[in-house]
Amino acid sequence: MLNMTTNYTILLLFSISLLLIPYSFFYKKETLQIKSELGITLPKPLKIILEVNIVISIIVSLVLLVLILLQSN
Amino acid sequence: MKKGLIELSSDDLKGCLSLSDEEIIIAKRKHVLVLIATSVSILFTGIFTTGLLIYLLYTILQSPPLTISFVLIALTLTSFAISKAIVDWYYHIYIVTTRKILEVKCIPFFADTIDNVFLDQVRTTEVDTIIPSFIHELLDIGSVTVAFDRPSHDEVYTLSNIKDPRETAKFLADALEDLMRPASVWFNHERGNEITKFTEDVFNGKVAHA
């Protein structure tokens, strides 16, 4: 029973992490769009932070996917 | 133009100058310590939540997969929240030019606010400095409020939590006084003797000069 609940919870967290990928991607896109509209230059560290967010969300999704596969075996 | 009052580069400010003969007087963001305080509070909340999750899931429930999953999501959300705080701070700008006062607050994905006050359409009645506490005094953080009389209504414009508020308010008060006197409709220097002037009252068809 506990194992079943664990599986479903990890699946729920995986779906949240999947949602975070498009969010981080479009957040970066929107931020860059504001930059071009206002004409305010975005510093390089800030761009890197936004890119790191995308990478983090992808890595977290992959880790959770691996966990789901390990749990199902 | 005082250098300490312009915190943005001239390239960044080009897009904000849309009117003729417009020059930047003040261009500021909120104090960087405001950003640091926000980021640190988010970080502590994230660390506390992670610690709590580890305690509950690993120590009590003894489920390593659940612990790893929750901790990863908590850390990701913390990282996202900190980067959002940085971007929000970066795109919240107060600009005072010789023609207008502008507040730009862009929160990507959530909200955009651009508040423009044209200085030839208003009269400044007060420029106040607010330093709310001892800590703000020590760190030189405070707010500057500018009260306007518009022909239709009153409005208070606030430059909140900026660096060096006293100097900014003093400079702003002097600059606004200099700018408004020749330009504002309230002073009416260049108009003829018309009964439609704002500075005159009309009683029984006769003009009573203010």
Do A13 and A61 contact (CB within 8 A), yes or no? no
Identify the band that residue B153 occupies on the pLDDT scale cut at 50, 70 and 90. low
pLDDT classification of B109: cutoffs 50, 70, 90:
confident
Q: Mind giving me the DSSP string for B5-49?
A: GB-S-HHHHGGG--STT--EEEEEEB-HHHHHHHHHHHHHHHHHH
Q: Which residue of B has its CA nearest to A38?
A: B15
Taking CB atoms and an 8 Å limit, are B14 and A39 in contact across chains? yes
B83 reaches A (C-beta below 8 A): yes
Buried b (16+ CB within 10 A) or exposed e, B100-123: bbbbbebbbeeeeeeeebebeebb
In this model, does residue B10 exceed pLDDT 80?
no
Whole-structure pTM value = 0.81
On average, the pLDDT of chain B sits at 81
Say which amino acid occupies B97. Answer: T
Separation of alpha carbons B99 and B21, rounded Å: 8
The CA R_g of chain B, rounded to the nearest whole Å, is 24
Structure confidence at residue A1 as a pLDDT band (50, 70, 90):
low
What mean pLDDT is predicted for residues B9-36?
81
* ipTM for this model: 0.91
Q: What is the DSSP letter of B193?
A: S
More confident residue, B210 or B157: B157
Find the mean pLDDT for residues B97-107: 86
Question: How do the domains of chain A map onto residue ranges?
Answer: 2-72
CA atoms within 13 A on the CB side of B38: 17
Q: Which of B34-43, B126-135, B182-191 comes out lowest in average pLDDT?
A: B182-191
The answer on pLDDT for A43 being more than 90 is: no
pLDDT tops 50 at residue B198: no
Provide the pLDDT for residue B36: 95
* Chain A nearest CA to B165, separation (Å): 24
B12 touches chain A (CB under 8 A): yes
B151: pLDDT strictly greater than 70: no
Q: What is the pLDDT of residue B101?
A: 86
| B114 in contact with A, Cβ within 8 Å | no
pLDDT recorded at residue B70: 93
Q: Please, which pLDDT band fits residue B191 given cuts at 50, 70 and 90?
A: low
Residue of B53, B50, B11, B6 lying closest to B29 (CA atoms) = B6
